[in-house]
C-alpha cells in the first residue's frame, strides 16, 4: 500500500466532504448566474438565500474534512435496527435503483402515470412483494392519485406523456 493510501485508510468521510463542497460550488455558480433587475423595494434580492446556502455547504465541507483528517469519526446510527457489519443487499438495491432510473428515462416520453406506476411497482417488487396484480393496480392508482393531486391540489402539471388525451 502506498503511503498516501495508508494515511487515508478509513477516511471515506472525505468523499462526503468533497460532495458537500461540490454542491456548495454548484449552488454558488447557479445563484451567481441569476439575472435580477434592480429593485429599491427589495434590497436583499433572490440571490441572498442561495449564497447563504452555498456558503454553509462549503463551510460544512471544510469543517468535516478537518474533523476527518484529525481522525474524527462519525457515530454509528444508534436508532436503526441494522447490522452495519453485513454488506449491502445488492439483490434489493440494484432492482430498486433500476426502477428509479427507468422512471427518470420514461417520465418525459411516457408521462408520470406510466413512469410512476413503473417506479412504484418496481419498488415493491424489489422490496420483496410477490402479489403482482394487486401491486400493479395499487401502483397505477397511486400514480393517478399523485398526478391529479399535483394538478388539482397544487396547480402543478406533471408530464402526461402517452395518455395525454385520456387524462
pTM above 0.85, yes or no: no
Give domain status of residue 96, yes or no: yes
Give domain status of residue 34, yes or no: yes
Residues 6+ apart with CB under 8 A from 61: 17, 18, 20, 21, 24
Give domain status of residue 107, yes or no: yes
Range of the domain at 65: 10-69
Query: Cell digits for 20?
Result: 458537500
The alpha-carbon radius of gyration of the chain (Å, integer) is 23
Of the two residues 32 and 39, the one the predictor is more confident about is 32
In tens, the pLDDT along 122-148 reads 999 999 999 999 999 999 999 999 999
Give domain status of residue 28, yes or no: yes
Question: Number of folded domains in the chain?
Answer: 2
The reply to whether 95 and 139 lie within a common domain is yes
Neighbours of 76 (CB within 10 A): 8
Distance separating alpha carbons of residues 120 and 141, to the nearest angstrom: 10
Distance separating alpha carbons of residues 157 and 164, to the nearest angstrom: 12
Alpha helices in the chain (DSSP H): 3-7, 13-32, 48-69, 90-110, 112-126, 132-148
In percent, the amount of the chain with pLDDT more than 70 equals 84
Chain centroid, CA 1 distance in Å:
35
In tens, the pLDDT along 60-92 reads 999 999 998 888 776 666 666 667 677 888 899
Give domain status of residue 129, yes or no: yes
Amino acid at each position: 500500500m502506498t503511503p498516501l493510501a495508508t494515511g487515508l485508510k478509513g477516511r471515506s468521510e472525505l468523499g462526503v466532504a468533497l460532495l458537500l463542497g461540490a454542491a456548495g460550488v454548484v449552488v454558488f455558480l447557479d445563484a451567481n448566474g441569476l439575472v435580477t433587475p434592480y429593485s429599491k423595494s427589495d434590497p436583499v434580492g433572490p440571490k441572498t438565500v442561495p449564497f447563504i446556502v452555498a456558503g454553509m455547504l462549503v463551510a460544512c465541507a471544510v469543517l468535516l474534512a478537518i474533523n476527518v483528517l484529525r481522525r474524527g469519526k462519525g457515530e454509528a446510527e444508534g436508532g436503526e435496527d441494522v447490522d452495519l457489519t453485513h454488506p449491502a443487499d445488492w439483490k434489493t438495491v440494484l432492482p430498486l435503483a433500476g426502477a428509479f432510473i427507468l422512471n427518470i428515462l420514461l417520465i418525459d416520453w411516457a408521462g408520470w402515470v406510466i413512469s410512476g406506476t413503473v417506479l412504484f411497482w418496481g419498488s415493491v417488487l424489489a422490496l420483496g412483494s410477490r402479489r403482482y396484480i394487486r401491486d400493479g393496480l395499487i401502483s397505477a392508482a397511486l400514480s393517478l392519485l399523485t398526478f391529479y393531486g399535483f394538478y388539482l391540489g397544487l396547480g402543478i402539471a406533471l408530464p402526461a406523456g402517452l395518455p395525454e388525451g385520456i387524462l
